[in-house]
Amino acid sequence: MHIVVCIKQVPDSAQIRVHPVTNTIMRQGVPAIVNPYDLFALEEALRLKDKFGGKVTMLCMGPPQAEDALKKCISFGADDAVLVTDRSFAGADTLATSYALAAAVRQIGKEQKVDIVFTGKQTIDGDTAQVGPGIAKRLGLQLLTYVSRIADLDLENDTITVERRAEGGVQVLKTAVPCLITMLEGTNEMRFAPLENMIHAARYPVRKWNKEAAGIEDVTKIGLKGSPTVVSKVFGPTPRAEKALMQSVEDASPRDVSLNVIQKIFTQHPTLERDILAKAAV
Amino acid sequence: MSEKFDVIVVGAGPSGNAAAYTAAKAGLSVLQIERGEYPGSKNVQGAILYANALEQIIPDFRDDAPLERHIIEQRMWVLDEESFVGTHFRSDDYNKPPYNRYTIIRAQFDKWFSSKVKEAGALVICETTVECLLMDGDQVVGVRCDRQGGEVFADVVILADGVNSTLARKAGFHGEIQAGNVALAVKEILFMPQETIEARFNIKEEEGVVIEMFGKITDGMMGTGFLYTNKDSITLGVGCMLSDFKENPNRTSPYTLLEKMKAHPSVAPLIAGGEMKEYCAHLIPEGGFYAVPKVHGNGWMIVGDSGGFVNAVHREGSNLAMTTGRLAAEAAIAAKAAGKGFKAKQLASYKQALDESFVMKDLHKYRDMPQVFHQNNQFFTTYPELLNQAARSMITVDGIDKKTKEKEIFSNFRKSRSLTGLAGDALKLWRAFR
CB within 8 Å of B24: residues ≥ 6 apart: B30, B117, B120, B121, B122
Of A17, A31, A194, which is closest to B277 when you measure between CB atoms? A17
Distance CA A206, CA B417 (A): 69
The predicted model scores a pTM of 0.88
What spatial distance separates the first Cα and last Cα of chain A, rounded to whole Å?
78
When the pLDDT of each residue in chain A is averaged and rounded to a whole number, the result is 92
Nearest chain A Cα distance for residue B228, angstroms: 18
Dihedral over Cα of B118, B121, B125, B131: its sign: negative
Of A29, A194, A199, which is closest to B148 when you measure between CB atoms? A194
Q: Which residue of A has its CA nearest to B130?
A: A195
SS (H, E, C) chain B: CCCEEEEEEECCCHHHHHHHHHHHHCCCCEEEECCCCCCCCCCCCCCEEEHHHHHCCCCCHHHCCCCCEEEEEEEEEEECCCCEEEEEEECHHHHCCCCCEEECCHHHHHHHHHHHHHHCCCEEECCCCEEEEEEECCEEEEEEECCCCCEEEEEEEEECCCCCCHHHHHHCCCCCCCHHHEEEEEEEEEECCHHHHHHHCCCCCCEEEEEEEEEHHHCCCCEEEEEEECCCEEEEEEEEEHHHHHHCCCCCCHHHHHHHHHHCCCCHHHHCCCEEEEEEEEEEECCCHHHCCCCEECCEEECHHHHCCCECCCCECHHHHHHHHHHHHHHHHHHHHHCCCCCHHHHHHHHHHHHHCHHHHHHHHCCCHHHHHHHCHHHCCHHHHHHHHHHHHHHCCCCCCHHHHHHHHHHHHHHHCCHHHHHHHHHHHHHHHC
Nearest chain B Cα distance for residue A188, angstroms: 20
Q: What is the pLDDT of residue A13?
A: 80
Residue B183 near residue B317, CB atoms below 8 Å: no
**Chain A residue numbers touching B108 (CB-CB < 8 A):** 28-29
Among A47, A45, A83, CA closest to A63: A83
Residue A216 near residue A107, CB atoms below 8 Å: no
Nearest chain B Cα distance for residue A14, angstroms: 12
Q: Which residue of B has its CA nearest to A28?
A: B108
Q: What is the pLDDT of residue B142?
A: 97
In this complex, do A195 and B148 lie within 8 Å of one another by their Cβ atoms?
yes
**Chain A residue numbers touching B42 (CB-CB < 8 A):** none
In this complex, do B41 and A21 lie within 8 Å of one another by their Cβ atoms?
no
Could you report the per-residue pLDDT of A146-191, keeping only the tens digit for each? Answer: 999 999 999 999 999 999 999 889 999 999 999 999 999 999 999 9
Nearest chain B Cα distance for residue A19, angstroms: 9
In this complex, do B38 and A31 lie within 8 Å of one another by their Cβ atoms?
yes
CB within 8 Å of B170: residues ≥ 6 apart: B132, B133
Of B105, B124, B145, which is closest to A195 when you measure between CB atoms? B145
**Chain A residue numbers touching B105 (CB-CB < 8 A):** 29
Residue B75 near residue B209, CB atoms below 8 Å: yes
Q: What is the pLDDT of residue A30?
A: 81
Distance CA A278, CA B413 (A): 75
pLDDT tens-place values along chain B, 434 residues long: 579 999 999 999 999 999 999 999 999 999 999 999 999 888 899 889 999 999 999 999 999 999 999 999 999 999 988 899 999 999 999 999 899 999 999 989 999 999 999 999 999 999 999 999 999 999 999 999 999 999 999 999 999 999 999 999 999 999 899 998 999 999 999 999 999 999 999 999 999 999 999 888 888 888 899 999 999 999 999 999 999 999 988 889 999 999 999 999 999 999 999 988 889 999 999 999 999 999 999 999 999 999 999 998 888 999 999 999 999 999 999 999 999 999 999 999 999 999 999 999 999 999 888 777 777 777 787 888 888 888 888 888 888 888 898 888 888 888 887 777 777 777 777 776 66
Q: What is the pLDDT of residue B434?
A: 62
Top residue of B123, B130, B144 to mutate, by most chain A CBs within 10 Å, is B123
**Cβ density class B184-201: b for 16+ within 10 Å, e for less:** bbbbbbbbbbeeebbebb
Give yes or no for residue A15 having a pLDDT over 60: yes
Domains recognised in chain A with CATH numbers: 2-221 (3.40.50.620), 240-282 (no CATH)
Q: What is the pLDDT of residue A246?
A: 79
In this complex, do A195 and B37 lie within 8 Å of one another by their Cβ atoms?
no
Of A195, A202, A203, which is closest to B147 when you measure between CB atoms? A195
Query: Which ipTM was obtained for this model?
Result: 0.86
Q: What is the pLDDT of residue B433?
A: 64
Of B41, B124, B275, which is closest to A20 when you measure between CB atoms? B275
In this complex, do B147 and A203 lie within 8 Å of one another by their Cβ atoms?
no
Q: What is the pLDDT of residue A20?
A: 67
Residue B6 near residue B154, CB atoms below 8 Å: yes
Distance CA B301, CA B158 (A): 5
**β-sheet bridge partners, residue B75:** B88, B211
The number of C-beta contacts closer than 8 angstroms across A and B is 45
Distance CA B338, CA B47 (A): 38
Of A29, A194, A195, which is closest to B107 when you measure between CB atoms? A29
Q: How many CA atoms lie within 13 A of A33 on its CB side?
A: 20
DSSP-assigned letter for residue A22: T
Nearest chain B Cα distance for residue A63, angstroms: 16
In this complex, do A198 and B128 lie within 8 Å of one another by their Cβ atoms?
yes
Of B3, B148, B193, which is closest to A199 when you measure between CB atoms? B3
Dihedral over Cα of A15, A16, A19, A20: its sign: negative
- Give all strands (DSSP E) within A47-96, no chain letters: 55-61, 80-84
In this complex, do A196 and B1 lie within 8 Å of one another by their Cβ atoms?
yes
Q: What DSSP element (H or E) covers A100? A: helix A94-111
In this complex, do B41 and A31 lie within 8 Å of one another by their Cβ atoms?
yes
CB within 8 Å of B104: residues ≥ 6 apart: B47, B48, B49, B65, B66, B67, B68
Percentages of chain A per state (helix, strand, coil), in multiples of 5: 35, 25, 40
In this complex, do A20 and B37 lie within 8 Å of one another by their Cβ atoms?
no
Residue B151 near residue B134, CB atoms below 8 Å: yes
**Chain A residue numbers touching B41 (CB-CB < 8 A):** 31
Torsion angles phi and psi, residue A28, rounded to 5: -55, 125
Residue of B382 and A255 predicted with greater confidence = A255
Q: What residues of chain A have any CB closer than 8 angstroms to a CB in chain B?
A: 17, 20-21, 28-29, 31, 75, 192-196, 198-199, 201-203
Residue B276 near residue B190, CB atoms below 8 Å: yes
Q: Which residue of B has its CA nearest to A69?
A: B38
Among A244, A279, A250, A2, CA closest to A115: A2
Measured CA to CA in angstroms, residue A75 lies from A38, A78, A168, B111, B286 at distances of: 15, 7, 38, 20, 39
Of A21, A28, A193, which is closest to B193 when you measure between CB atoms? A21
Q: What is the pLDDT of residue B416?
A: 81
